[in-house]
Homo-oligomer: A and B are copies of this chain.
Amino acid sequence: MEMDKTYFRRISSPVLENPIFVQGLPGFGNVGKIAAYLLLKFCGAKPFAELYSPSFPDYVSVSSKGICRLPRYEFYAAPMEKNDFIIMTGDTQPSFDDVVSHYALCSETLDFIEKQGCSFIVTTGGVPITEEKAQVYVAATSPRLALEFMEKGAVIYSKGRIVGATGLTLGLAKERGLEGICLLGATTGFKADRGAGFSVFKFLMKALGNEVKEGL
């Protein structure tokens, strides 16, 4: 394992049919990470690959049993009846300042999931709340897709910016000719917002034709 660049460790090689890629990383209100976590639990997804990078923070996490490990992204596979999924979540993102690493990691993630057969991308994250009621916002790679998910109940996220991997993965996907959407849960962002994460997860499931019960 040479750590002068990004390193993928394969755990297994799942067979998936045209899987949808869903990405949820730590960020504003931790909405994206929570949505990805709920999805992978709902699907009973199995980890099949890990990504390590010298752009991640220079620490190890230590478990309750005293076992250390490097920060990483994790890829989970979920063969489902309606849609197969590849779900990515992780411990961290590169430093805010290191924009070149953000571009590199998002590109390498896309390289990897394209090889797994993904051609549709869903990124998830949080946005500052602006109204009273909880909303899920959508931005997309094309007007047709934005419209489609608006009709399914999301609000168009218009005239703003989407920062970090949530925006960049989608922007880079678009440049490659891939399609996809970004789903943003409205949150105050003061702490990990499980409610907003659940809203994003539930919207995604409904939009893709899955039923999610409230009591999850």
Contacts and interface: CB of A to CB of B under 8 A. Distances in A.
Interface of A: 1-4, 9, 52, 54-70, 95, 97-104, 106-107, 138-143, 146, 150, 156-165, 167-168, 170-172, 174-176, 182
Contacts of A9: 175
A162 B69 CA distance: 10
A2 B175 CA distance: 10
Nearest to A70: B171
B2 A107 contact: yes
Q: What 10 A-B pairs are tightest by C-beta distance, nearest first?
A: A54-B103, A58-B102, A60-B171, A66-B146, A60-B167, A66-B156, A70-B171, A59-B163, A3-B107, A59-B161
Given A55-B99, A62-B162, A67-B143, 11 more contacts: A3-B107, A54-B99, A55-B100, A57-B99, A58-B99, A58-B165, A62-B157, A64-B159, A65-B158, A68-B174, A98-B99
12 contacts: A1-B176, A57-B99, A58-B99, A58-B165, A61-B161, A62-B160, A66-B140, A66-B156, A66-B158, A67-B139, A68-B139, A100-B101
Chain A binding site: helix, strand, loop or mixed by DSSP? mixed
